[in-house]
Amino acid sequence: MADIVHEPTNHRFIAVDAGKIVAEMTYSPLGEDRLIIDHTDVDQAYGGQGIGYQLVDAAVAHARANGMKILPLCPFAASVFKKKGEEYADVRF
């Protein structure tokens, strides 16, 4: 199981397994209270394990904790937001 780490200076959330980055979700800050998820990538060997969802969940938790809104422009993140619907409605921009 990968650990999810937020790297705010690099504007990304990463999944790390045994010291190796196996997935990454990048974002662009938009002012002080919004962020745009622009890319998600999961190592093919880790596909189907829900790591991409964990990255989006981490971004949502970060947004909630900091009173932020998210614009999911990345196709993967947008599909997760669509599937989660009401659950993520409070942070959707």
Domains detected in the chain = 3-88 (3.40.630.30)
CA angle 82, 60, 58 (to 5 degrees): 115
37-52 pLDDT tens trace: 999 999 999 999 999 9
Q: Residue 1's pLDDT band (boundaries 50, 70, 90)?
A: confident
In the sheet with 69-72, reading across from the earlier edge strand, the strands are 3-7, 12-17, 20-30, 34-42, 69-72
Rounded Cα–Cα distance for residues 63 and 12 (Å):
13
- Which tokens go with 92? 């959707």
| Model confidence, pTM | 0.94
